[in-house]
């Protein structure tokens, strides 16, 4: 994890990354796969997010992701203290001076060789669901898949609390917002939405920061989920923007990280844009 301070309006931009290195391996074919086909496995703290990015990039389809709020420590817990000298860290992971909690690596498996070269929105949804099903088999929590128009959202559902009990994690982006109509920059809109959540959410890494600074947006919401407001904001830019909402269990804060799924605009988004 690192914290990046930016002078824009005095904002503090957090970038919550993975201290552990994601690894992708090729294993033997599972009984569920067709004969001779290898199963790819991702082992990383955010294995679901990594797999979702693969699908998003391959099919140019926006799929947002939200971290669970991990809180359970211990030998069988979800978190590990990467500063504990008794803990053996994975190769490439640097031991930090201050106590830092990080998520333990999780595993998802999939058979990418069986994926179609092109896919309809319903096919992308089905492939994403297979990732969530694979994750759930580990017994470490669950995600659900929500569709808003053409956009898919991966949202955590079950997670263990500090006592190790299973609880409904919920989503901070389900919080309903109200904004009087006002014209603001994309960056201002982002800051206003995250501030309104009252859940320790910061604007994180922006791969499209210049775009958000220059873009003008009519912000308005009447008892509307934060997720819908963000989706409308990003769609209004004309770029295929997606987000990952990362949670830092040591600082108990979120970082909203925004990225473009490609360097251009996919057909499904072009069709939504008004003709000049």
Give mean pLDDT, residues 80-92: 69
Q: Could you tell me if residue 275 is inside a domain?
A: no
Write down the pLDDT at residue 78.
Answer: 73
**Which tens digit of pLDDT belongs to each residue from 159-171?**
988 888 999 988 9
Q: Which of 22-26, 184-188, 200-204 has the highest mean pLDDT?
A: 184-188
Q: Is residue 69 included in any domain, yes or no?
A: yes
- The reply to whether 243 falls in a domain is yes
Q: Please report whether residue 81 resides in a domain.
A: yes
d(CA 47, CA 212): 28
Whether residue 100 lies inside any domain: the answer is yes
* Residue indicated by tokens 């990039």: 57
Q: In whole numbers, what is the pLDDT of the chain averaged over residues?
A: 79
pTM of the prediction?
Answer: 0.77
Q: Is residue 246 assigned to a domain?
A: yes
Give the model's confidence band at 66: pLDDT under 50 very low, under 70 low, under 90 confident, else very high: very high
Answer yes or no: is 271 within a domain.
no
How many domains are contained in the chain? 1
Tell me if 270 is assigned to some domain.
no
pLDDT(268) > 60: no
Query: What are the DSSP calls for the chain, one per residue?
Result: -EEEE--GGG-EEEE---SSPPEEEEEPPPTTSPTT--EEEEEETTHHHHHHHHHHHHHT--EEEE-------STTSSEEETT-TTSPPPTTPPPPSS--EEEPPEEEEE-GGGS-SS--HHHHHHHHHHHHHHHHTTTS--EEEEEETTEEEEEE-EEE-TTS-EEE---GGGSEEEEEEEEEEHHHHHHHHHHHT-SSEEEEEETTHHHHHH-EEEEEEEEEEHHHHHHHHHHTTTS-EEEEEEEETTTTEEEEEEEESSSS--HHHHTTSPP-
From residue 42, alpha-carbon distances to 5, 57, 105, 249 in Å are 31, 16, 9, 22
> In which domain, by residue range, is 22 found?
2-265
Q: Is the pLDDT of residue 119 over 90?
A: yes
Give the pLDDT of residue 105: 82
């Amino acid at each position: 994890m690192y914290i990046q301070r930016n002078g824009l309006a005095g904002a503090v931009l957090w970038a919550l990354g993975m201290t552990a290195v994601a690894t992708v391996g090729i294993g033997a074919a599972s009984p569920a796969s067709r004969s001779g086909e290898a199963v790819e496995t991702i082992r990383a703290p955010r294995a679901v997010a990594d797999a979702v990015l693969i699908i998003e990039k391959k099919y140019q389809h926006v799929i947002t992701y939200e971290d669970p709020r991990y809180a359970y420590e211990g030998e069988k817990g979800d978190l590990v203290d990467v500063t504990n000298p008794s803990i053996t860290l994975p190769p490439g992971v640097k031991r930090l001076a201050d106590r830092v909690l990080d998520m333990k690596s999780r595993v998802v498996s999939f058979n990418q060789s069986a994926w179609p070269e092109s896919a309809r929105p319903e096919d992308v949804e089905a492939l994403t669901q297979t990732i969530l099903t694979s994750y759930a088999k580990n017994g470490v929590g669950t995600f659900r898949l929500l569709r808003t128009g053409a956009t898919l959202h991966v949202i955590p559902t079950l997670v263990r609390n500090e006592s190790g009990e299973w609880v409904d994690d919920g989503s901070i982006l389900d919080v309903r917002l109200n904004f009087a109509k006002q014209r603001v920059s994309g960056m201002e809109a982002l800051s206003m939405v995250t501030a309104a959540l009252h859940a320790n959410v910061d604007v994180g890494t922006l791969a499209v920061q210049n775009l958000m600074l220059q873009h003008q947006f009519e912000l308005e919401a009447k008892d509307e989920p934060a997720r819908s407001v963000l989706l409308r904001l990003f769609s209004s830019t004309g770029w295929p923007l997606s987000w990952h909402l990362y949670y830092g269990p040591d600082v108990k804060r979120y970082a909203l990280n925004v990225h473009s799924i490609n360097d251009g605009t996919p057909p499904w988004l072009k069709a939504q844009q008004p003709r000049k």
